[in-house]
Amino acid sequence: MPRKLVAGNWKMHGLAADLAEARALAAAHRAPDCEVALCPPATLVAAMAAALAGTAVMVGGQDCHEAAQGAHTGDISAAMLADAGARMVIVGHSERRTDHGETDAQVQAKAQAAQAAGLTVIICLGETEAQRDAGETLAVIAAQLAGSLPTAAGPDNTVIAYEPIWAIGTGRTPTLEQIAEVHGRLRAELAARMNGPADVRLLYGGSVKPANAAEIFAVPDVDGALVGGASLKAADFGAIVQALGAA
Ligand code: PGA
């Protein structure tokens, strides 16, 4: 299994007609040197999984409920995502934490539920601009990791995405040194928390695009990216996949 991973987060974008972008991406990357996943809105998970069956591009969800089933109108369980063809799921994205008040404990419970359903979980964390300005970034990241990481986390079922909130959808990115500093800290925290190899994949996310992908992928301890806006078009996302494959 290639270690590197690039995942596209379509957020609340995408209708059935947009599956053409997923097909175009898969056609251009038959045997990528890295793992590739697209996380469409829940309405498209099954259709995208069918459209990408037999290709090298996996499908993921954007969120799941922490319970296996129950009276939770409008929510989706991890088993439902897996049943629809998803192999992974994003949890704790800052937009979920902000829009839906999700706490670290909830994110941890969701991650645990996802792993129980056999999904690889991408756990997102990141600081606000005010926290960065106050010099709190590393402490915030460490606390989020400690609070969100499930007990059974390992390299095969867990991916961490560092996404500075101020860099998401803004066109702004941290310096390469700032990315290296946070990823280095995450690597050290993981090593301290896990018995055995701590080679959980660490993704960077926040305004990754074809123009900056290669330099970000060259940063130590960056194992790939979580991509929002630039994942919507096969040409842009494909260029990012190619940059990771070449890194
Ligand atoms: P962006 O989003 O690439 O549009 O900045 C990243 C994300 O939210 O995962």
Taking only the tens place, the pLDDT of each residue in 177-206 is 999 999 999 999 998 887 666 789 999 999
What's at 230, amino acid-wise? Answer: A
Q: Which of 21, 35, 66, 163 is catalytic?
A: 163
**Long-range contacts (CB closer than 8 Å, 24 or more residues apart) made by 99-106:** 103/147, 104/143, 104/144, 104/146, 104/147, 104/148, 105/147, 106/66
245's tokens: 């494959």
Contact 78, 116 (CB under 8 A): yes
Q: Are 207 and 175 in contact (CB under 8 A)?
A: no
Pocket of ligand 1 (CB under 6 A): 9, 163, 168-169, 205-208, 226-230
Q: What is the model's pTM?
A: 0.97
| Backbone phi and psi for residue 160, each to the nearest 5 degrees, phi listed first | -110, 135
Tell me which residue has its CA closest to atom 9 in ligand 1.
Answer: 228
Query: Residue 152, exposed/middle/buried by CB under 10 A (0-12, 13-18, 19+)?
Result: exposed
| Separation of alpha carbons 247 and 237, rounded Å | 15
| Structure tokens given for 126 | 């990141």
The pLDDT assigned to 199 comes to 87
Average pLDDT (207-231) is 97
User: What is the model's pLDDT at position 59?
Assistant: 98
Taking the C-alpha atoms of residue 161 and residue 102, their distance in angstroms, rounded to an integer, is 16
Ligand 1 midpoint to CA 240 (Å): 13
Contact 225, 6 (CB under 8 A): yes
pLDDT in tens, 128-137: 999 999 999 9
Cβ(69)–Cβ(116) below 8 Å:
no
Is the four-CA dihedral 65, 70, 72, 75 of positive or negative sign?
positive
**Residue 181 among the catalytic residues:** no
Question: Tell me, what's the pLDDT at 2?
Answer: 55
The mean pLDDT value for 119-140 works out to: 98
User: Which residues make beta-bridge pairs with 91?
Assistant: 123
93 is a catalytic site residue: yes
